[in-house]
Structure 1
Amino acid sequence: MESLKNGQRYIGQTSNLDERMRRHNAGYVRSTRNNAPWKLLAYLQMESRQEAIKLEEKLKRMKNRERVFSYFAQHGVILPH
């Protein structure tokens, strides 16, 4: 996700994308509350929750936005609807 307020980026995982976006934009998530509204840049659908958690950790360790987007390009990013 990207903040429309200041361009900050956020990486996370969820089993319900629409609900999670609603919660971020409604201010229910402490770590993103002050930078709402948010827009979805991309998402990947994983086979299991464990796989999603591992990928989230990997992407957060990258730190560099270009490396994250490179990973997305190599692994079939699903663009928001």
Structure 2
Amino acid sequence: MDSFFVYIIYSPLTDRLYIGQTQNLQERLAQHNTGYFKNAHTHSASDWEFYHTIACQSRKQAVRIESHIKKAKKRKYLHDLKKYPEMSQKLKEKYES
């Protein structure tokens, strides 16, 4: 079974957070830091670092969790995800494949 991840990265330079999903965390972080995604708002900085990650059972689950988090549109929600691990677990249970 392949692993997928929902990730939240943070740029100290821009004080921005970005949410995405991938199968390879290290490769994806390198892509964000080298400007690989020309039209993404991550292109504006090269100091992205992992803020929080959630390991998922499938790509379907990762996409659903990513969508859920993006719809929340609140920075506090992202901080709470990091602070309270049980929130990530509940999301995984809610969106089990």
TM-score range, shorter chain: 0.7 to 0.9
| Number of residue pairs aligned between Structure 1 and Structure 2 | 76
Bigger fraction of residues in strand? 2
After TM superposition, list the pairs within 5 Å mapping 1:17-28 onto structure 2: 17-28=25-36
Q: Return the offset for 1:23.
A: 0.5
**Any unmatched runs of 5+ in structure 2?**
1-8, 90-97
Matched, 1:61 2:71: yes
Which residue of structure 2 aligns with residue 45 of structure 1? 55
Please tell me the root mean square deviation across aligned C-alpha atoms, in Å. 1.4
**Distance in 2 separating the partners of 1:7 and 1:57:** 22
Give me the TM-score of the superposition, normalised by structure 2: 0.71
Give me the TM-score of the superposition, normalised by structure 1: 0.84
Larger radius of gyration: 2
Runs of 4+ in structure 1 over 6 Å off: none
Q: Return the offset for 1:36.
A: 2.1
SS in 2 for 1:5: coil
